[in-house]
Amino acid sequence: MNIILVCAGGMSTSILVTKMKKALAPDQLDWKIEAHPVGELSEYINEFDVVLLGPQVSHKLKGVEKEFGETGKPIAVINSLDYGMGNGDKVLRFAIDLQNNK
């Protein structure tokens, strides 16, 4: 599975990406998890299965859903507490649940 996290600039979210990668199980090590600015999502959308928005860009959720909803990919906002605490394991499980329940 490939997961993209989008935020304002892609920088703060890269810390969470690192923690999510550390939470991967051995059979998940080939998964791709990256962070990019929300404005660049159209360049990357086809490479990913799940789209997670950082809480700081949660106001863009409806626009992202409108633009990319037809892809059928789950799109959701990361829980602000999990984001702020850098809880990579919880955010990873959230992405897996979104993919499994799409």
Give the catalytic positions in this structure.
Answer: 7
Number of H helices, E strands in the chain: 5, 4
Q: What is the SS3 string spanning 20-63?
A: HHHCCCHHHCCCEEEEEEHHHHHHHHHHCCEEEECHHHHHHHHH
CA gap 70, 25 in Å, rounded: 30
